[in-house]
Amino acid sequence: MEYRDSPEEARFRHEVRTFIRENLPEHFISPEYDEYQGPRTDEERALLGRWRKALGERGWIAPHWPKEYGGGGLTVSEQFVFNEEMAEARAPEVGGMGVQMIGPILILYGTAEQKQEHLPKITGGQVWWCQGYSEPGSGSDLASLQTRAVRDGDDYIINGQKIWTSGAHRANWMFLLARTDPDAPKHRGISMLLMDMRSPGVSVQPLINLANDHGFNQVFFDNVRVPARNLVGEENRGWYLGATLLDFERSNVRSSVALRHTVEELFEYAREHRKNGQRAQSVAVRHELVDRMVEANVSRLLSYRIISMQKHGVVPNYEASMNKLFYSETQQRVARTGMKLIGAYGLLDRDPKWAPLRGRVSHTYMTTLAMTIAAGTSEINRNVIATRGLGLPRG
C-alpha cells in the first residue's frame, strides 16, 4: 500500500492547496455555514456561484472527465489527491449526480446528441440530476425492479414507482432503470433511460427522515412518455452500464476525512466543556473518543488501500465492500459516542445558541441510522467480503 505521494502527486497536491487557499470563500468553513442544509441565503448562493466559477475555469467541477467534455482530465491518483484536499478544506461539492454518475456513463455510452445536450449543462450547473433505481420491493436486489418501459413508436411509455430518490424534488432530469423485456432473465431485460422530470405523468412525493430533512422522495410514473432517443446504450443492457464507474477514483476518501473531522470536533468539545469547573467527561467516554479516532484513521487507510490498487490497474472488489462497511458502521459508533459526550444537549437539534457544535451531533446520530442500509446494506457487504474476499461458499 502506498502512503506517500510521488513527486508528481506532491506537486499536484500543492497546486490544489494553493487553489483552495486563493479561491474557497471562508464562509464555507465557518460555523455559520450548515453543510447539511446547503446555501440558504442569496449571499451563500452567490458565494457558491463564485466557487463554482473558479472550479469550472480549471475543469475541476468534473475533474475526472476528459477535457474535451469540460472536465479536468485527471488521472485516478490525481483524482484521489484532489478529493482528499477538498475534503480536508471542507470545500462544498458542486457537481452532484450529474458529474459523478450519469456524466461518465454518457461519455462512454451516450450518443453524440445526448452528449451535446446534457454534458455542457452538467458542468455549467444548469441542470441537476437524480437517480431512479430503487423501488419499494427492489432495494438490495435491485435487478428485481418492476418499473416498466414499453416501446410505443418513437417513445417509451413508463409506469411504476421509484423510492429513496435523493434530490428528486429539485432535479430537472432523472436517469432511471426500467424493465423493457419482462421475459428475459432479470439482469438482462433492463434499460437505462433519461427522463425530463417535467414530463406529464411524473409525480414526486417527499420522504422526510428522522432528522426532519427532505432529501429522499418517492416518484410515481403514470404513462410517462420518454422519447426513444433518450435510451442510453443498448436496449435491455442497462444493468451493465453501471460498471463504467469502476474506472474512476472510488476510495471514498472524502467521507473518511469528514469522519476524522467529526471526531476532532468531539475531542475539542471534550477539552473545553466543563461542569461546575471540572471536566464532565468520564474515563470511559475519553477511551471511546480514542477508539473513534483510531477507527477514523483506519477508515482513511482503507481508502488508501483502494487507491493504491487502482493506481496499479487493479479494480477493487471486496475491498470496496470492506471500506463501505467499516465506514458506515464507524459513523454510527462516532455518533453514539458524541451523544454520550453531550448528554441531554443531544435533544436540541440545530439550535444555534444552546446545542453543542450547532446541533451536528444529534443530527448525525439520526442520519447515520440509515447508513448501514443505504448504498449497500451491511449484510450484503459482509456476503461480498465472505464470498469474494475469503472464498467462503454461498449460504
SS3 track for 320-369: HHHHHHHHHHHHHHHHHHHHHHHHHHHHCCCCCCCCHHHHHHHHHHHHHH
| Gap between the Cα atoms of 318 and 250, Å rounded | 13
Query: What is the model's pLDDT at position 141?
Result: 83
Of the residues 249, 288, 295, 319, which is catalytic?
249
Give pLDDT, residue 241: 86
pLDDT in tens, 132-184: 999 998 877 888 999 999 999 999 999 999 999 999 999 999 999 999 999 99
Within its chain, how far is the Cα of 309 from the centroid?
21
Low-confidence ranges of the chain (pLDDT < 50): 276-277
- Considering only CA atoms, which of 80, 133, 76, 126 is closest in space to residue 99? 126
- In this prediction, residue 226 carries a pLDDT of 98
Sole residue written with cell 414499453 = 150
State residue 26's pLDDT score. 86
Judging by beta carbons within 10 Å of its beta carbon (0-12, 13-18, 19+), is residue 161 exposed, middle or buried? buried
For 243-269, write each residue's pLDDT tens digit.
Answer: 666 556 678 899 999 999 999 999 988
Predicted local distance difference test score (pLDDT) of residue 245: 63
How far apart CA 359 and CA 164 sit, in angstroms, is 25
What per-residue confidence (pLDDT) applies to 243?
Answer: 65
Q: How far apart are CA 154 and CA 29, in angstroms?
A: 49
CA-CA distance, 156 to 38, in Å (whole number)?
36
Domains and CATH numbers, the chain: 7-94 (1.10.540.10), 129-239 (2.40.110.10), 250-389 (1.20.140.10)
Clarify whether 249 is annotated catalytic.
yes
Task: Report yes or no: 121 and 127 within 8 Å, Cβ to Cβ.
Answer: yes
Look up cell 449543462; give the residue. 121
